[in-house]
Amino acid sequence: MKLDQNALNDIGAIINQSRRPLIIPHRTPDGDTLGAALGLYQVLKNLGKAPEVICFDKPADIFEFLPNINRVKVGSPQLDYDAYFIPDAGATHLTGFHETHPQLFDKSLNVINIDHHPSNNYYGKANLVVTSAASATAIVTEMLEALSIPIDRNTATCLLTGIYTDTGSFQHANTSAETLRIAARLLARGADLRHISKSIFNTTKISTMHLWGRVLKSIYQTPEKVTMAVVTEQDFKDCGAVYDELNGAVDYVNSVPGSKYSVILTERAGKVKGSLRTLKDEVDVAQIAANYGGGGHTKAAGFTVTGKLEKEIKWKVVE
C-alpha cells in the first residue's frame, strides 16, 4: 500500500505535538470505524496521550468484545482538543457533526482524515486517503508501521476487526494478497481472530433473527435482475430490533443467483437508507448510489434520502 509521505509527515508531527486528541468514528459505527478508532485510542494512550472517543451514535452490542469499547462516549464534542482523528468517514455528514461542528471540516483544526472511500473530499488538515485499501483499519495499520509506532495485542485486535468486517470475513472482492498480509501481521502481534469471528458472525440475537425474517419475506427481483428487500420502521418495532441488527443482511440478499446487484431499503426517523451490493465485475453500485446523493465503493455503496417507504404493487421511495 502506497501512503502519501507528506500526509505521513504531517500526521507524525500532529501526533508528536498533541496531548489530548479526540477520535470521532462515523455515525452508526461499524467494525471498521470502531476498530480504527479504538486501535488509535490504544496506541495514543500507550504514547502517553490522553485520548477520547466520541461518537454520534451508540455502538452495537456485537462490538462489546472490543478492547476499550467502554471508552466510547455518545454525544456532541467540545472543540477544545489539540488533534482530531476521523477514520472511515467518506463524507463529512457521516460523522453526524457536519452541521453542528463545521470547524471540523474547514481545515482550521488539526484534523486527520483517514479513509478508503472514493467519495472522500479531503476535509482534513492531513488526509491519508487510500481508495485501493480494503478498510480504514488497513490504512491505520500501515500508517502506524510507517511511523514506527508499536502495535500491541489490543490494538491488533481492534484493527483486525475492521479488516475482517469490511472484507466480509475475507470473502469480498477487496480481499487482496496485500489485505491478507496486513491481517497476518496483526495476527502475529496477537490479534484474537477467533474471538472476533465468534462475536461478529456467530452471535445472533432472537430479535435479529426476526428482523432478518422480515427481510427474507420481502425479497423480490425486478425484471432488470435487481434483487430488492425492504424493512420498514414498523418492522424494527415489531421485532424489537435496532438498526444495527440489519448489518450483513444486504450481503445475504446479494447471494440470489443471477442477481445484477442487491438493494435493501430501510426506514429510519423520516429518512430512507439504501444499501447496495454486487458481485458483478461490470456493475459499479457507487455510481448507482451517486444518483441519490450517496456513494461508496464499486461493490458496496449506499445512500440516504428524506422520505418514507410506501407500498403500491412493490416498494418505492416517496418524498
The grid coordinates of residue 247 equal 448489518
SS (H, E, C) the chain: CCCCHHHHHHHHHHHHHCCCEEECCCCCCCHHHHHHHHHHHHHHHHCCCCCEEEECCCCCHHHCCCCCHHHEEECCCCCCCCEEEEECCCCHHHHCCCCCCHHHHCCCCCEEEEECCCCCCCCCCEEEECCCCCCHHHHHHHHHHHCCCCCCHHHHHHHHHHHHHHCCCCCCCCCCHHHHHHHHHHHHCCCCHHHHHHHHHCCCCHHHHHHHHHHHHHCEECCCCEEEEEECHHHHHHHCCCHHHHCCHHHHHCCCCCCCEEEEEEEECCEEEEEEECCCCCCCHHHHHHCCCCEECCCEEEEEEECEEEECCCEEEEC
The grid coordinates of residue 19 equal 496531548
Return the pLDDT at 119: 86
Residues of the chain with CATH 3.10.310.30: 206-312
Nearest to 173 by CA among 280, 61, 17: 280
Return the pLDDT at 317: 67
Q: In the chain, which stretches have pLDDT less than 70?
A: 312-319
Sequence-distant (≥ 6) Cβ neighbours of residue 158 within 8 angstroms:
34, 35, 36, 38, 39, 42, 66, 67, 68, 137
Burial string for 149-163 (b: 16+ CB within 10 Å, else e) reads: bebeebbbbbbbbbb
Return the pLDDT at 203: 77
Residues of the chain with CATH 3.90.1640.10: 5-200
Mean pLDDT value across the chain: 93
Helices 136-146 and 177-188 meet at what angle, rounded to 10? 60
Sequence-distant (≥ 6) Cβ neighbours of residue 54 within 8 angstroms:
22, 23, 24, 72, 73, 74, 75, 76, 77
pTM, entire model: 0.84
CB 276 within 8 A of CB 287: no
Nearest to 35 by CA among 156, 214, 177, 129: 156
CATH number of 206-312: 3.10.310.30
CATH number of 5-200: 3.90.1640.10
Return the pLDDT at 176: 95
